[in-house]
Amino acid sequence: MGESVFETDVLVIGGGMAGLFAAIKAREKGPSVTILDKGYAGKSGSTPYGFWYVVNEPDRGHDLEQWIEYVSTLGEYLNNRKWTEIVFRESYDRYQDLVSYGVEFMLGKDGRPQTYKFSGIPTESVQLKKRVFGQVMRKKAKSLGVEIVDRIVVTDLVKHEEKVVGAMGFPLDTNDLYVFQAKAVVICSGGSAFKPDGWPVSELTGDGDAMAYRIGAEIGGKEFNEPKSTNAQLPGPTMGMFLWKKEESNWSSPGPRPQVYQRTW
C-alpha cells in the first residue's frame, strides 16, 4: 500500500450539484480547486434525479414571505428561517448562473422560464429540459480548470492545531492511501437517508456528516426528512417512479413475488 500526498487550495468532497457549484464558484475567484467523488462527479448521488427547481421572482408576483411561511409551517418552525430566506431570495440569481453554465430549462412562449405549481403549495418551480444537470456542470467545472478525481472514497478530515488542513481517502481501484492538503475543505457528500430499494442513491451513507462529527464539528440543517416513502410489499416504486418500467422478476422462493423496476431514461 502506497501513500500519495496532493496539494490544492480548495478541496471539495463530493461532486453532486452542491460540490460542482461550490467548485465552480471557488475556481472563478482564482484558487486551485479539486473535487473528490467516490462515484463519478455529475452522475452520482441524488443529482441525476433532480428535475424541479424552485425559483422566486418578485416581479412575477411571487410572495417571498408566504413561501418562507409555507416552508416554516411544513418544518414545524424547526427550520432555519434565515437560511430559507437566503435560498429563495437568491434562487433567481442561481438560476441565471445555471443557465450561463449551459443548463437548459423549459421556457415559455415569452422566452422566460416556464413555471409550474403543485396544488396546495404556494412555491413555483422551473423544470429542467433534460436530466443532464450534473454532467453540464461537470463540463463547466472542467473548462475552468477544476481538477476532478472520481472513484475515491474520502474517509477522514485531517486536522492540525484545531484547523482542518485536508482530507484523506482511498481510491476504489488500488490499495493506496491518498492525502490531500488544502487551505479550505468543503463537504458536499449528499444526504444520509439512503433507500437502496427505491431510487438508486445507496452510496449516500452520510460520510461527510460522520467525518465532520468525528473531528468535533457541530451538525445542523437536518430538520427535514426525505418524504419519498416505500413499503415492504412494493419497495421499488417511490414517488416519481413513473419513469421506471415495471418488470416481473424470476422469483422462485415462496412468499410475495417482488417486482423489479428498470430505468427508462
Which residues contact ligand FAD by CB under 6 A? 13-19, 36-39, 44-47, 49-53, 153-154, 169, 188-190, 199, 201, 203-204, 207, 240
User: How far apart, in whole angstroms, are the C-alpha atoms of residue 197 and residue 219?
Assistant: 27
Amino acid at 23: A
- Shortest separation between residue 60's beta carbon and ligand FAD, angstroms: 19
User: How far apart, in whole angstroms, are the C-alpha atoms of residue 182 and residue 197?
Assistant: 37
Whether the CB-CB separation of 153 and 169 falls below 8 Å is answered with yes
* Antiparallel, parallel or unpaired: β 259-263 and 244-248: antiparallel
Q: Considering beta carbons, is residue 224 or 251 the nearer one to ligand FAD?
A: 224
Amino acid at 185: V
Whether the CB-CB separation of 94 and 133 falls below 8 Å is answered with no
Under 8 Å CB-to-CB from 56, ≥6 apart: which residues? 62, 64, 67, 88, 89, 91, 92, 123, 124
- Shortest separation between residue 196's beta carbon and ligand FAD, angstroms: 12
- Shortest separation between residue 161's beta carbon and ligand FAD, angstroms: 24
Q: Considering beta carbons, is residue 27 or 38 the nearer one to ligand FAD?
A: 38
What are the grid coordinates assigned to 25, written together?
464558484
Q: Considering beta carbons, is residue 53 or 261 the nearer one to ligand FAD?
A: 53
Q: Considering beta carbons, is residue 124 or 207 the nearer one to ligand FAD?
A: 207
What are the grid coordinates assigned to 51, written together?
428535475
* Three-state DSSP class for residue 241: helix
- Shortest separation between residue 214's beta carbon and ligand FAD, angstroms: 13
Q: Considering beta carbons, is residue 30 or 227 the nearer one to ligand FAD?
A: 227
- Shortest separation between residue 234's beta carbon and ligand FAD, angstroms: 16
Facing residues of 8 across strands? 182
Which residue is listed with cell 415492504? 232
Q: Considering beta carbons, is residue 90 or 257 the nearer one to ligand FAD?
A: 90
- Shortest separation between residue 132's beta carbon and ligand FAD, angstroms: 14
Name the residue number minimizing CB distance to ligand FAD: 16
- Shortest separation between residue 43's beta carbon and ligand FAD, angstroms: 8
Q: Considering beta carbons, is residue 14 or 166 the nearer one to ligand FAD?
A: 14
User: How far apart, in whole angstroms, are the C-alpha atoms of residue 35 and residue 17?
Assistant: 12
